[in-house]
Amino acid sequence: MAAYARHDTSFFSQRALFFIAIVLIHIFLIWAFESGLATRIIHVADGPLETNIVQEVKQHDLPPPPPPPKMEKPPVEVPPPDVVINVPVEAASTAITNTTSKHVEAPPPPPRAVVRTAAVALVKLDPQNFYPPTSIRMNETGTTLIKYCWGVDGKLSGVPSVEKSSGSSRLDEAAIRLGNQERMKPGTVDGQPVAACANLSVKFTLQ
């Protein structure tokens, strides 16, 4: 217990000395500021202060430089090529030209077109009117092809002939009788009537 007391006493004596030293330092600083000693020390310690004012020169915006001039190339004129056309020159013929004083006749005019008209039958004959009664009873049928001719007056110039038989002599004879009754208006050539011949098919059918 005595040892602890001694230790505590020495601790408090150290703190007292430290506190006293701090108080003395503050008293010295206050006396130094009041007497001007601190100001003189600061002036001596600090050297002369030089202030350089750098004036910033604001560069004005300058307009952009003009573009370089365009160099235009002058058009190059190409002269047209010389075109030379060689035209063959006919050489003078040394042949002897035959001349004649004989009159040359003009060619004849082309033949005139011929105007033709066809013949026309003036009557219409019915084969039923010439049908043989015997052939009707025997049921004979067929077709006979006859040929007949006429003159410029339209009348028959002869008896019609059988060009193709029907297979029945009675029907063929009936076809010839029919042909004998034909009357024609003859055809014309350039307005003139002409004789002619024609074939006629006579068909016999039962009704």
Q: What is the pLDDT of residue 3?
A: 45
CATH number (domain holding residue 132) = 3.30.2420.10
Query: Which of the four pLDDT bands, split at 50, 70 and 90, describes residue 31?
Result: confident
Looking at the domain assignment, is residue 192 inside a domain?
yes
Is a pLDDT exceeding 70 seen at residue 86? Answer: no
**Of 207, 139, 148, which Cα lies nearest the Cα of 170?**
139
d(CA 173, CA 166): 10
Does residue 128 sit within a domain? yes
Look at the chain and report how many structural domains it folds into: 1
Domain presence at residue 67: no
| pTM greater than the 0.85 cutoff | no
Residue 188 has pLDDT above 90, yes or no: yes
Residue 139 has pLDDT above 70, yes or no: yes
Residue 22 lies in a domain: no
Domain annotation covers residue 190: yes
CA 87 to chain centre: 43
Residue 31 forms part of a structural domain = no
User: Mean pLDDT for the chain?
Assistant: 78
| 125 close to 178: Cβ distance less than 8 angstroms | yes
Residue 97 placed within a domain = no
Domain region containing 131:
116-204
Is 200 a domain residue? yes
Alpha carbon distance 198, 163 (integer Å): 11
Sign of the dihedral defined by the CA atoms of residues 189, 191, 197, 201, in that order? positive
